[in-house]
Structure 1
C-alpha cells in the first residue's frame, strides 16, 4: 500500500507543536513534570538529559505523609521521555504495589490513582493502546467514587480515557467524549481555566482526526484568543494553539496563510523555548514543509537541509522527527527538479525506517511510495 502525501501529513501532525496537548499528567500540567521548575531534576531534563533527570529523581527521598511518591512520578516521566516507556510503566507498577502493600485491604486513594494514571499512560506509549484504554476506563470509574465526578483530577482522567480511545481507533468517540468534557469543564472550572482550554484543544484535535478539517480549524481559531487571554503570549500552550491554527489552515488548502503564521511562530519558539527544544525543531520542520506546499521548494530544501543536522544532533538520527525531516527534504528536492538527490536520501531512509519501525509502518510505506515515484522520474 502506498500512503499519499496528504495521509502522511495527517498522520504526522504530531511533528507539529503538539496538535493534541496530551493531558496525561494528573496533578501537574504535562509541560511541568517536576513540581519545582527550579529543581535540578527539571533543569536536567529540559536541558535534554532525560536519563540524567530520571537518575536524579530516583535518588530523591520517599514521602512519609501518604501522598503520591513524586520522585517515582518524576523518575518514570523522564524514563519514558528518554525512550523507555515500558521501563517507566514497570517502575510505576512497582511503586503502586508498594503503596498498596503499606495499606493492605484499603481501597485506592488519590495517591494510588495518580500512580495508576501515569502507569496507564506509559503502558499506552509502550505500544499497548488497548491496555491503556482499559486501564483509564477502570481508573475513571474509581476516581468518580474516590474523588467525585466534578473533581478536576477526575476531569483530567476523563480526558486521558478519551485520548486513549482515540489512539485505540475510536476517533469519533474520542471527539464526542471531548465535546462533553469541554462542556463539563466550562461549567465546573470556568472558560479560562487551563484544563478547560486543554479539553477545547483536544476536542479540536480529534475533530480533525475524525475527518472534519474545517471544523478543527474553526475550533482552534476559537481557542487561540482564549489561550492568549488566559495564559499570555509566551506560554507553551499559546505557542501550541498558534501552531494548530497554522497547521489546520494549511491542511484546509491555505498553504500561504499557514506559512505566514509559521514564520513568526518559529521566531517566538526560538526565543521562548530555545533553538534545541523539540518543539522549536518541529516548528522548523513545519516551516520547511509549508514553504514547499506554498510553491517554494527551493526555500523548503534550504530550510530542511539546515534543520536535519540539528535534529540529529539533539534527538539522534533514528528519532521520528529526524526521519520526518529526511522524508520532507527528499520530497522537496524532487519537487525542485532534483530527483537524484531525492532518491539518494530516500534509499537510506527507507532502510532505516524498516530497521526501526518495520516494513509495514505507514511512515515506511510513505517513504517507499515517494522513492518509487522519484526513481521513475
Structure 2
C-alpha cells in the first residue's frame, strides 16, 4: 500500500508543478493505478486507467505506445477482478492495434497475444485458450528460441492449465521440465525459478504424498526469505500453500493457526479485496470448518 500512497503524492506534485496533461503527470497516474491494483483494489485501478485513457487519447493520440499500454493494463486488471471474458475481448482489440502500429514481432504484441489466450483458457472457452497457447508456444520457440522468457512464461501457463483441467501428473511433469530449464538459464535462486518451485510443490502434493509437498515448500520458504523482500507475494503464497499441505498431512490445528497469522499479515499489506486475501480467507474457512466438525459431538440413529 505504501507504493500506491507514494505515487499519489508524486501525482499531486507533478500535476501542480507541470500540469495535468504533462507526460510525467500521466506516467504518475499510470503508476498510481498500477500499485492500487497491485494491492488488490482492482476496481479503483480500472477506474483510474479508464480516466487516464481518455486523457491519453486526447493528448497523445489513440496509437501512441503509452495509450496502447494503458489499454493492455486495463485488460489485465479486468482479468484480475475475475472478468476473464471481458479481459480477453479487450486484449484482442489491443492486439489488432499493436499489430498495425508496432508489428507482429514487437514484445508488447507477443505478450498481449499470450495474455489473451491465457484469459480465454480461464473463461468459458477453456479448450480454445489452451489450443491457442500451444500454437503460440510453437511460434515463440521458432521466433525467439527455446530459452526466451516468453517461451518459459507460455510453458508455465500451459502447465497450470493442464493441472487445473485434471491432468495432475502432466502438470507436475511439465513444471519439473520447466524448473530444470529455468535453473539452467536463470540459476537456482532467480525469482522466476523460485516461483516455478512453488507451482511444482503443489502438483507434487497432488500426485504423490502431502508430506513431500510440505518438505519442498519448507525448503522453498527458506530460500525465498534470503532472496525476496519480506512482503513479496510469493512468500505469502508459499506460506498459504504450506498451511494447506500441513492440514492435508493431518495437522489441521497447526494449519489454522498459520492461516490466521498469514491473513493478519496480508490485511496489513494488501487490500481486503485482493485475490490472495480472498484465497486465504476461503482456505481458513475450509480448514476451520473441518476442525469444528471434528470437535462437534456426533449423534447417530440407535437401533
TM range (shorter): 0.7 to 0.9
Measured after TM superposition, the shift of residue 259 of structure 1 is: 1.5
Change (3 A) 1:135 1:275: same
The answer to whether 1:368 aligns with 2:281 is no
Task: Give 2:95's aligned residue.
Answer: 182
Q: Which runs of 5+ in 2 are unaligned?
A: 296-303
Say how many residue pairs are matched: 286
Q: Which residue number in structure 1 is paired with residue 163 of structure 2?
A: 250
Indicate if the aligned counterparts of 2:84 and 2:122 stay in contact, CA closer than 8 A: yes
Flag the 1:95–1:224 CA change in 2: closer, same or farther, 3 A.
Answer: farther
Deviation digits for residues 70-89 of structure 1, max 9, x if unmatched? xxxxxxxxxxxxx6322332
1:1-377 equivalences under 5 Å are: 84-97=2-15, 99-101=17-19, 108-315=21-228, 319-333=232-246, 335=248, 338-340=249-251, 342-344=252-254, 346-358=255-267, 361-373=278-290, 376=294
Q: Measure, in 1, the Cα distance between the counterparts of 2:111 and 2:215.
A: 35
Q: Deviations over 1:125-147 (max 9, x none)?
A: 34443232122112222222333
Q: Secondary structure at the match of 1:149?
A: coil
Q: Assess, with a 3 A threshold, how the Cα gap between structure 1 residues 87 and 109 changes in structure 2: closer, same or farther.
A: closer
- Give the superposition deviation at 1:250: 1.3
1:296-337 Cα distance to aligned partner (Å, 9 max, x none)? 4443233223212222343466654334324433444555xx
Unmatched runs of 5 consecutive residues or more in structure 1: 1-82, 102-106
Residue 98 of structure 1 and its aligned partner are, at CA, apart by 5.1
Partner Cα separation in structure 2 for residue 297 and residue 365 of structure 1: 20
Deviation of 1:248 after TM superposition, in Å, equals 0.7
* Alpha-carbon offset, residue 159 of structure 1: 0.5
From the superposition, tell whether residues 111 and 231 of structure 1 become closer, same or farther in structure 2 (CA, over 3 Å).
farther
Alpha-carbon contact 2:156-2:175 (below 8 Å) kept = yes
TM-score by length of 1: 0.66
CA distance in 2, matches of 1:366, 1:349: 11
Q: Which moved more, 1:260-269 or 1:162-171?
A: 162-171
Q: Name the CA distance, whole Å, in 2 between partners of 1:182 and 1:192.
A: 12
Given that residues 118 and 130 in structure 2 are in contact (C-alpha distance below 8 angstroms), is that contact kept between their aligned partners in structure 1?
Answer: no
Q: Secondary structure at the match of 1:339?
A: coil
Matching residue of 1:4: none
State the distance in 2 between where 1:294 and 1:334 align: 16
In the alignment, is the contact (CA less than 8 A) between 1:256 and 1:294 conserved in 2?
A: yes
Query: Does structure 2 retain, via aligned residues, the 8 Å contact 1:318–1:352?
Result: no
Superposition RMSD in Å: 2.9
Cα distance between partner residues in 2 of 1:110 and 1:316: 31
1:208-260 C-alpha deviation (Å, 9 max, x unpaired): 34344333322221222233334333332222111111111111111111112
Structure with more helix by fraction: 2
CA distance in structure 1 between the aligned counterparts of 2:214 and 2:81, rounded to whole angstroms: 35
Decide whether the 8 Å contact of 1:193 with 1:230 is kept in 2: no
Secondary structure (helix, strand or coil) at the match of 1:361 reads helix
Q: 1:322/1:110 Cα in 2 relative to 1: closer, same or farther (>3 Å)?
A: closer
SS in 1 for 2:138: helix
Higher-RCO chain (CA-CA 8 Å, sequence separation at least 6): 1
Q: What TM-score do you get using the length of structure 2 for normalisation?
A: 0.80
Question: Partners in 2 of 1:186 and 1:372 — Cα distance?
Answer: 51
